[in-house]
A and B are shown apart, each in its own frame.
Chain A
Amino acid sequence: MFTLQILVDGFAISALYGLGAIGFTLIFGVSGVLNLAHGGIMVVSGVAAWAVAGDLHAGPYLGALAGVAAGVLTAFATYGLVVRPIQRSRAIPRDETEIFVLTGTLLWGIMLQVAIAYLFSDNPVTVQPLIGGVVQVFGVRTPRNELLIAVISWVSIGLLWLLVNRTRAGRTLLAASINPRALTLLGFELSRIYLLVWAIYGVLAALAGVLLASFLGTSSANIGQLTASAFSIVVLGGLGSVSGSLIAAYVVGYLETITAYTVSPTLRTIPALLLLVLVVYLRPQGLLGRR
């Protein structure tokens, strides 16, 4: 029973971790950007969904849609106001662009955190679940919403796989992640590809933000932790590797759940961080990384 409980609880949280992390890794793979405002985008989506569903009495579905829209807009704002100006700046030496993007997105994330705390307070809020009630899964009482979160996460991941592997736009993204220079020589406009990848990233991060807010709640105070969690998963799986991130999400998700159940909920993140240190030391490219 105890093992089953860990299996069921770990599955949903890992799926959510995976959804949150694949956008993060995708954007690094395609455009080389490590977006440290990632947690900010997730929290903006969650808080927007909560505000629209609750304050405007729009209901959980419209609320969730509004949350995703707010997340996508924030992702575009991150790209348009922070990343792109830094990448285009002539004042910044080319080999220092990445560190400037890193710093810029980190500061942007802090701005988002302060803005959300100012407008909505830093008290946690929860998004109305899309469905209520509980069901027994292998004898474990599980909220229906938790199962729905796992399903939505996996469907979204599946759709991303189809997009990348079965569509022309997706294959262009893949090519951009392997050799962007060759792609420009073939006449592709890289800026349009970047816009597409930021749009996909925005949807994935926003969806993860809304689902997380309906599962565990969300708060501006969580922004740093959410970014760190996605960063750990992506480094563990290998920067730029979508499948590596998914495997890492499940490794981290289950490691945390096992620790929380068998040792202490307070120490849940420690073993995953130790594993991360070990991986960085023994296999710096991560589980399935290319760089």
Chain B
Amino acid sequence: MSQSSRARPARRFTQHLALGLCVAAPIAASQARAAEPIRIAVIAENSAIGGIAITNGAQLAADQLNAAGGVGGRKIEIITYDDHNSATDAVRAFQRAATQDHAVAVIGSYMSEVALALEPWAARLHMPFITPGASSNEITRRIHADYAHFKYSFHGYFTSSEIAQASCDFAHDILVPQFGVHTSVVMSEDAAWTTPLDATYLECLPKAGIKVLDHIRFSPDTTDFTPIFNRIESLHPDIITTGISHVGVQPTVQWASQQVPIAMTGISSQATTTTFWRDTNGAAQGVILQEDAAPDVATTAKTIPFAEAYLKRFGVSPGYAGYTAADDVNIIALAVQAAGSTDADKLVSAMEKTDYVGTIGRIGFYGKDDPFTHGLIYGAGFATGLMVQWQDGKQVAVWPKAVANGTLKFPAFIKLPQMHAAN
């Protein structure tokens, strides 16, 4: 046997090995990528009912997606950060999520002040960011004003103007015609989200047929609301239109214990979860509030099953931001699938095309040319939220008609111009 004939099988083996490696390497890499989870960062204040709803809602949605096979075989991994309601902590968490933890997108905060602090970081770090609970109009105004820079941010909850408009529409449709309501005092906490809220209230309440007698803004640190209720009562309004989120339990309990004879309606974020009934020892009876979804109301086919799964796992119903955080996880997952990539610009582009029916309704985002760029599309055919009233420990939907599962009932101490709805 010549040397060359002995060398041939060895060369053939080397050639086969090289070929095998060339084929196997990309397969292994793609398998490794397929196994690599899609990391979504969640930044929220975990010791607050509203904040923990974001973390829990996102985790539940991710677990449900993973149980169904994940996204293209990849699992969703939720990385949670507690911002302790501090913009500084939230920004640090955001930076860590982007640089160290390699998140593909961030879901963050129910506080407008915190969301507004995160928005510039989403722009700087080219990190898709969506807030499931903050409502300040400033969030979308910034994106509209400087789209190229701020396009990485999305507003996954209604703007303050939209939730104020929902309250006015409800008043126009029910309180004015059925209960003879014609006057109101606007009572809001002093915060970033209530500035556009109050501006819209002052504009839309008169259009709904309700004269605003006074506009009271108070510090979120207020604990004794007696002087505020006394001032309101001296003006004899038919209703109090609220804008409260940082406070909620105290004004509600004092309103009930002092038997202030004026109905409270509007925004009361703490009242969106079932713990509110427990926290107020039932003083919430008769309080009317705007919600994005309620546990017993089939806004979509997904709402009740999600609320039930959440209640079973966490012992309380999801606060308003729990529903939206879950929807946001799905929106990001769908965007990753549609983009076929986790590249930030491709993801943003895919998220802009969102048309997803979630727990709060059909979700889409306003485009670049709309003044509320990347805000939730609000109105017919899309998510509008609903008005609920606390009745005997349950949130009963009273508006809009399409989802209402009950009618308004007030505690005995409430006096309205017409006490019984003219059905």
Contact = CB atoms under 8 A, between A and B. Distances in A.
Q: Do A and B come from one complex?
A: yes
Interface of A: 5, 9, 13, 50, 53-55, 117-118, 121-129, 132, 134, 141, 143, 145-146, 216-217, 220, 222, 225, 257, 260-261, 264-266, 268
Interface in B220-265: 221-228, 230, 247-250, 253-254, 257-259
Nearest to A120: B47
B283 A126 contact: yes
B200 interface: no
A266 B190 contact: yes
Interface stretch (B16-24, B274-282, B348-356, B389-397): B274-282
Contacts of B213: none
- Closest A-B pairs by Cβ, 9 of them: A117-B47, A266-B219, A260-B227, A124-B249, A217-B250, A126-B253, A143-B257, A125-B279, A122-B47
A265 B49 contact: no
7 contacts: A121-B52, A124-B247, A124-B248, A126-B249, A126-B253, A129-B257, A266-B218
Scoring B48, B227, B258 by chain A CB atoms within 10 A of each residue's CB, the highest score goes to B227
- By size class, the interface of chain B is 20 to 34
B137 interface: no
Nearest to B51: A121
A222 B223 contact: yes
Contact of A265 (B48, B224, B281): B224
Interface in B271-302: 275, 278-281, 283
A216 B218 contact: no
A260 B224 contact: yes
B160 interface: no
B249 A123 contact: yes
Contacts of B257: 129, 132, 134, 143, 145-146
A121 B84 CA distance: 11
B230 A123 contact: no
A255 B213 CA distance: 28
Contacts of B280: 126
B250 A124 contact: yes
A265 B219 contact: yes
B373 interface: no
A216 B229 CA distance: 14
Interface of B: 47-49, 52, 190, 218-219, 221-228, 230, 247-250, 253-254, 257-259, 270, 275, 278-281, 283
Contacts of B230: 5, 261
A261 B227 contact: yes
Nearest to B247: A124
A216 B254 contact: yes
Contacts of B278: 54-55
A217 B226 CA distance: 13
Scoring B218, B249, B259 by chain A CB atoms within 10 A of each residue's CB, the highest score goes to B249
A216 B283 CA distance: 13
A5 B227 CA distance: 9
A266 B259 contact: no
A123 B250 contact: no
A265 B250 contact: no
B302 to A, nearest CB: 26
Nearest to B49: A123
Given A128-B281, A141-B258, A265 B228 contact: yes
A217 B223 contact: yes
A211 to B, nearest CB: 13
B48 A217 contact: no
A260 B253 CA distance: 19
B48 A121 contact: yes
Contact of A266 (B222, B248, B253): B222
B258 A265 contact: no
Contacts of B279: 50, 123-126
Contacts of B221: 225
B275 A123 contact: yes
Nearest to B276: A123
A129 B84 CA distance: 31
Contact of B259 (A127, A128, A141, A220): A141
A54 B277 CA distance: 10
B373 to A, nearest CB: 33
A123 B224 contact: no
Contacts of A216: 223-224, 250, 254
A123 B218 contact: no
B249 A125 contact: yes
B268 to A, nearest CB: 13
Contacts of B219: 265-266
A117 B52 CA distance: 12
A146 B258 CA distance: 9
A257 B227 CA distance: 8
B211 to A, nearest CB: 24
B47 A143 contact: no
Nearest to B47: A117
A264 B219 CA distance: 10
Contacts of B218: 264-266
Contacts of A126: 249-250, 253, 279-281, 283
A221 to B, nearest CB: 9
A53 to B, nearest CB: 8
Contacts of B225: 265
A9 B254 CA distance: 13
A261 B225 CA distance: 10
A118 B47 contact: yes
Nearest to A122: B47
Contacts of B250: 124, 126, 216-217
Given A54-B281, A217-B253, A121 B190 contact: no
A100 B2 CA distance: 92
